[in-house]
């Protein structure tokens, strides 16, 4: 993470302790389906997008963000619509998608968390999150400003890890009624994490993909890149109309396919002898339509991509945490 961390650190030092940003605003992308956009602010960890389905027995909330301003916006939406949160679904255990679980359950204690069991290995003694916790504790005292705030948010989540675990473990793809609304849940093995969930809503033809689609670059920290590629092909084979990424704006089929092709080309480049900077430039060009209106994302795309080329090559083409 050296380069990306350094970059983040430098940005953090330039910032004074920051005000929380304005709360994310929900968009209704299909009837009864809302997207609360995640953020990726200078010096801070990201929040993933949240997707909310208005179901007969309450709201089904897919992913809960990292920061309190994000989970507060989910709770505000429930209040505006005068609807309880009936179920929570995590696409994967990365904390930008699940740190808000506990805050939502504090307000709606009957809302169960549906997720794969993949977080168990991340929370084990030598797991990804446990290792990061040790690193964060060591770094905390010398951190200041926004960076310190981010460390404290991470450590607070790790102090109550039970909220990250599923109440109902989803181990296999299935059609499941959640709060009275049937959704197709799909399990992707060893893609972004050991097991990720994505879902397809036949009624609206919306697919919610979690970090299988992530901009301005895929987050490969815990990834098996080849199986991730297969998962994107499986998404492509479903007749969705709108695809909601883990990070970035809702996509048409053509846009999803552009991302899928860019992803494949990037992984091929990682596995070739090409210069890391060449892979990064190619990635940035292939996804240019998604960063055109966001200068910061346009700057970050090649920096992140180049970092991940080195990261993946050091692991023989995958994350050291990939079980393959």
Residue numbers of the site for Zn ion (CB under 5 A)? 48, 94, 96, 211, 246
Pairwise CA distance, residues 97 & 108, whole Å: 18
Which DSSP state fits 268?
H
CB nearer to Zn ion: pick between 48 and 102: 48
Tell me the closest approach of the beta carbon of residue 211 to Zn ion, in angstroms: 4
- Shortest Cβ contact with Zn ion: which residue? 48
Q: Edge-to-edge strand order for the sheet containing 27-30?
A: 27-30, 33-36, 50-55, 58-62, 85-89, 112-115, 168-169
Tell me the closest approach of the beta carbon of residue 103 to Zn ion, in angstroms: 18
Torsion, CA 290, CA 306, CA 198, CA 268, rounded to 10: 100
3-class SS shares of the chain: helix, strand, coil, % to 5: 45, 20, 35
Residue 215, CB half-sphere, CA atoms under 13 Å: how many? 29
Read off the tokens for 177.
């009624």
Pairwise CA distance, residues 90 & 196, whole Å: 9
Say if CB 147 and CB 8 are below 8 A apart. yes
Pairwise CA distance, residues 45 & 154, whole Å: 9
Tell me the closest approach of the beta carbon of residue 209 to Zn ion, in angstroms: 11
Q: Could you tell me which of 116, 81, 85, 122 has the C-alpha nearest to residue 101?
A: 85
Pairwise CA distance, residues 246 & 227, whole Å: 18
For residue 265, report the phi and psi dihedrals to the nearest 5 degrees. -65, -35
Look at strands 27-30 and 33-36 and give their pairing: antiparallel
Read off the tokens for 98.
């699940």
Tell me the closest approach of the beta carbon of residue 246 to Zn ion, in angstroms: 5
């Amino acid at each position: 993470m050296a380069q990306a961390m350094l970059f983040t650190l430098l940005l953090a030092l330039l910032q004074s302790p920051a005000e929380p940003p304005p709360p994310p605003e929900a968009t209704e992308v299909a009837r009864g389906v809302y997207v609360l956009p995640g953020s990726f602010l200078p010096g801070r960890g990201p929040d993933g997008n949240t997707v909310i389905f208005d179901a007969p027995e309450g709201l089904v909330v897919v992913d809960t963000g990292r920061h309190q301003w994000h989970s507060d916006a989910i709770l505000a939406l429930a209040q505006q619509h005068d609807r309880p949160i009936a179920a929570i679904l995590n696409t994967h255990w990365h904390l930008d998608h699940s740190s808000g679980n506990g805050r939502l359950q504090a307000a709606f204690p009957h809302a169960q968390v549906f997720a794969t069991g993949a977080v168990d290995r991340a929370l084990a003694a030598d797991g990804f999150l446990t290792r990061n916790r040790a690193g964060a504790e060591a770094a905390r005292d010398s951190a200041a400003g926004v960076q310190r705030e981010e460390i404290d948010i991470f450590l607070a989540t790790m102090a109550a890890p039970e909220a990250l675990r599923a109440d109902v473990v989803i181990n296999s793809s299935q059609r499941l009624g959640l709060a009275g609304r049937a959704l197709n849940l799909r399990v992707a093995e060893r893609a972004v994490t050991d097991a990720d969930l994505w879902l397809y809503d036949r009624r609206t033809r919306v697919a919610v993909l979690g970090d299988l689609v992530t901009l301005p670059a895929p987050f490969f920290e815990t990834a098996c890149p080849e199986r991730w590629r297969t998962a994107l092909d499986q998404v492509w084979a479903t007749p969705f109309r709108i695809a909601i990424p883990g990070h970035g704006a809702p996509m048409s089929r053509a846009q999803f396919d552009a991302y899928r092709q860019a992803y494949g080309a990037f992984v091929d480049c990682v596995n070739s002898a090409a210069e890391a900077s060449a892979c990064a430039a190619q990635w940035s060009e292939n996804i240019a339509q998604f960063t055109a209106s966001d200068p910061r994302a346009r700057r970050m795309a090649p920096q992140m991509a180049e970092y991940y080329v080195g990261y993946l090559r050091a692991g023989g083409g995958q994350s050291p945490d990939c079980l393959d």
